[in-house]
Amino acid sequence: MKKEINIAIVGGTGNLGSALALRLLAPGVKVIIGSRDKEKAKTVVESLKKIQPKGNLEGKTNQEAVKEAGFVVIAVPYEGHATTVAQLKGQLAGKTVINAVVPLKKGKPFVPPAGSALLESQGILGDEAPVIGALHNISAVDLQSPDAPLGDVLVCGDNDGAKQKVMEIIHRIGARTFDAGPAANGYVIEGLTGVLIYLNRKYKSRHASVKVTGIGD
Ligand X SMILES: NC(=O)c1ccc[n+]([C@@H]2O[C@H](COP(=O)([O-])OP(=O)(O)OC[C@H]3O[C@@H](n4cnc5c(N)ncnc54)[C@H](OP(=O)(O)O)[C@@H]3O)[C@@H](O)[C@H]2O)c1
Binding site for ligand X (CB under 6 A): 11, 13-17, 35-37, 40, 75-80, 84, 100-102, 104, 135-136, 138-140, 193
Provide the residue type at 207 as one letter.
Answer: H
The CA distance from 77 to 49, in Å, is: 24
- What is the spatial distance between Cα 113 and Cα 103, in angstroms, rounded to a whole number? 11
Which of 34/214 has CB closer to ligand X?
Answer: 34
> What's the rounded Cα separation, in Å, for the pair 114 and 120?
5
Q: Please say which residue, 92 or 100, places its beta carbon nearer to ligand X.
A: 100
Residue whose CB is less far from ligand X, 78 or 178? 78
Q: Considering the complex, what minimum distance in angstroms separates the CB of residue 68 from ligand X?
A: 17
Backbone angles phi and psi of 63, in degrees to 5: -60, -45
In the bound state with ligand X, the residue whose beta carbon lies nearer, of 14 and 191, is: 14
Name the minimum Å distance from CB 96 to ligand X: 17
Question: What letter would DSSP give residue 156?
Answer: B
CA distance 67 to 122: 19
- Bin 174: left if φ > 0, else alpha if -120 < ψ < 50, else beta: left
- Cβ 155 to ligand X shortest distance, Å: 13
Minimum Å gap between C-beta 87 and ligand X is 9
